Amino acid sequence: MKKTTKEDYCWWNPFTQMEAFLQRSPIIIDKAEGIYLYDTNQKRYLDMSSSMWNVCLGHNQRTIIEAINKQYMQLDFSSPFRASNSKALELTKKLTNTCQDKLKKVFLTCNGSDSVEAGIKIARQYSGLKNTKKNKVISLINSYHGVSYGAMAASGFEEDKKYFKPIPEGFIQIPQPYCYRCPYNKTYPACNIECARFLEKEIKKQGEDTIALFLMEPVMGMGGIIIPPAEYYDIIFDTCKKYQILIMFDEVTTGFGRTGKMFAFEHLKHTPDMVALGKALSNGYFPIGATLVKDEIWQEFLGDDEKRFNHGSTYFGHPVGCTAAIETITIIQQEDLVNKVKGEGEYFLKQLLELKNIPIVGDVRGIGMMFGIEFVEDQKNKIPLNKATMLRFISTCYMYGLWAHFAGNCMLIFPPFICKRESLDTALTLIKKAVHNVIRKSG
């Protein structure tokens, strides 16, 4: 295979330092089958990332492909403005049924960022329609909500924002529920869940009548698979209720079974006012997302024309995307994959926890089929593993044919739901092999 040169490589990849990327001679994926990816050199990778956390049913799902092909022949596009299409209606009904009608209305979008963006705008307009002055959005440090200006402003990665100023006003981030590195230097449960109680302090600091929305990932993905203690959610929901603040869960990664429930909020006794969805919704077959909304919020937008939600984009509610999503949800339900995620996830977490015996593994976290391994210089002082060694570990994983995602000093593992136990075992063997290889070379 001819080496790709800077001159003949034209794609400007997202979130990528192209200089280093092209120097490394990029992996070019050319084919996929089930849980495997193949590059142009026919090298095979075991996909422990469900591609980008979205291809949860693996590749080549025939029923989805056939349904999409059929839909292209019947209705390949339909405008979402002042008209509807039967596939969008079928999908939105299916989505509300899937959450037992707890969220009854669905705003269709094209991806996760769009879904969050729509939710932020809905919250701000809702507050305006209720004649309040609330417009601020509180979210978590190290949360990730997407790339559009609102979603980026709500995200808690400051590095990602530094060249894009001015950032929209009214977005505040508070410390996250990160027990391994408690922002308050406390230990659970003696901590009194200080991180959750901080929300009320911040609300008072900002002004009790200024906050429109609290936005969080129920389990933080890009932030390193941060799973809050159970009490955290109770405190957050109580606080938001007390100050009449809407809550949106960003379930772009946790939605559709990833945590061992169809939606992560189903682990709780609370239902958020809005839920942002994307990624797994179409198993990667079409860019589509959705914002689920409680009926009482939607009701507020009814009446005079000026109350309408002035937001939308050409491809929202695309009939082919809706078809892909309907088929994806149907497979998840028919094959009982949510329960499979729970069972196999528990098995794999137990195996992964054994990695804690390795000196550079600081913490292992997981729920359902989302796992994080946090690497450190030293388990005692918890200093994050230096960047050079982390980069060596990442390239060793790829060298061994293991496809995963990495964020800072964390390895993030999102196996496809269809992954068999043997493949999980293989993944563990490859991770161990890569870690030991790196330790050997660093030592």
Sites of contact with ligand PLP (CB under 6 A): 111-113, 116, 144-146, 217, 221-222, 250, 252-253, 278
Q: Which tokens is 295 given? A: 């009926």
DSSP structure string for 59-105: B--HHHHHHHHHHHHH-S----SS---HHHHHHHHHHHHHTTTSS-E
Quickly tell me which residue has 């937008």 as its tokens.
301
In the complex, what is the shortest distance from the CB of residue 148 to ligand PLP, in angstroms, rounded to a whole number? 8
Closest CB to ligand PLP: residue number: 112
Cβ distance to ligand PLP smaller for residue 250 or 344:
250
In the complex, what is the shortest distance from the CB of residue 171 to ligand PLP, in angstroms, rounded to a whole number? 15
In angstroms, rounded to a whole number, what is the distance separating the alpha carbons of residues 256 and 274?
15
Cβ distance to ligand PLP smaller for residue 16 or 339:
16
In the complex, what is the shortest distance from the CB of residue 223 to ligand PLP, in angstroms, rounded to a whole number? 9
In the complex, what is the shortest distance from the CB of residue 193 to ligand PLP, in angstroms, rounded to a whole number? 22
Is 275 in contact with 240 (CB distance < 8 Å)? no
The answer to whether the Cα torsion of 323, 324, 328, 334 is positive or negative is positive
Cβ distance to ligand PLP smaller for residue 98 or 142:
142
In angstroms, rounded to a whole number, what is the distance separating the alpha carbons of residues 443 and 431?
18
In the complex, what is the shortest distance from the CB of residue 356 to ligand PLP, in angstroms, rounded to a whole number? 26
Task: State the alpha helices, DSSP H only, in 243-357.
Answer: 295-300, 319-334, 337-353
| Helices 86-98 and 319-334: angle between axes, nearest 10 degrees | 30
Cβ distance to ligand PLP smaller for residue 170 or 287:
287
In the complex, what is the shortest distance from the CB of residue 112 to ligand PLP, in angstroms, rounded to a whole number? 2
At residue 283, what is the residue type? N
In angstroms, rounded to a whole number, what is the distance separating the alpha carbons of residues 181 and 2?
46
In the complex, what is the shortest distance from the CB of residue 145 to ligand PLP, in angstroms, rounded to a whole number? 5
Cβ distance to ligand PLP smaller for residue 253 or 291:
253
Cβ distance to ligand PLP smaller for residue 144 or 214:
144
What is the side-by-side strand order in the sheet with 370-375? 361-367, 370-375, 410-413, 405-407
Cβ distance to ligand PLP smaller for residue 118 or 438:
118
